[in-house]
């Protein structure tokens, strides 16, 4: 079976590298993006099995990326886990409206995220 692929999109390099390290240790291939525009392009070009998506990123915010993917029949079935510092209920509702499968607030437990990813990837 081919390795699963996760797109990690966050403008904080340390978060991207930490998540990438943990996922690659589990045998999951990672693609990384540091702004929303690249995240959208990489999602369309690489068709990952799951996307970890920050909200506050340069060029395009994560809500818009999520909405564009979830409302496109080619990409709507890719699970999107929003990981953000925005913890207000209003922000969570926006995440739900854009079609995000999960809304996780920072700071987060790396084990919790890894378990959620494995659940969605069925690994």
Closest Cα partner for 6 from 48, 34, 39, 45? 48
Catalogue all structural domains in the chain, each as residue range(s) with its CATH number. 5-115 (3.40.50.2300)
Residue 105 binned pLDDT confidence (cut-offs 50, 70, 90): confident
Burial of 91 (0-12, 13-18, 19+ CB in 10 A): middle
* Prediction pTM value: 0.92
Compute the distance between CA of residue 17 and CA of residue 10 in angstroms, rounded to an integer. 10
| 7/26: higher pLDDT | 7
**pLDDT, mean of residues 78-96:** 83
pLDDT digit string, tens, across residues 7-24: 999 999 999 999 999 999
Q: Is 93 helix (H, G, I), strand (E, B) or coil?
A: helix
Contact 63, 95 (CB under 8 A): yes
Residue 1 binned pLDDT confidence (cut-offs 50, 70, 90): low
Percentage of the chain exceeding pLDDT 70:
98
Residue 46's pLDDT is 94
Compute the distance between CA of residue 23 and CA of residue 4 in angstroms, rounded to an integer. 10
**pLDDT, mean of residues 108-123:** 88
């Amino acid at each position: 079976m081919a390795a699963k692929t996760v797109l990690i999109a966050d403008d904080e390099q340390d978060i991207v590298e930490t998540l990438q390290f943990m996922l690659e240790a589990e045998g999951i291939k990672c693609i990384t993006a540091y702004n929303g525009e690249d995240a959208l392009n990489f999602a369309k070009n690489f068709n990952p099995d799951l996307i970890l998506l920050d909200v506050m990123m340069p060029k395009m915010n994560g809500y818009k990326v999520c909405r564009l993917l979830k409302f496109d029949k080619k990409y709507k079935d890719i699970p999107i886990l929003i990981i953000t510092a925005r913890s207000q209920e209003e922000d969570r509702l926006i995440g739900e409206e854009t079609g995000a499968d999960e809304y996780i607030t920072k700071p987060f437990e790396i084990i919790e995220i890894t378990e959620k990813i494995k659940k969605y990837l069925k690994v």
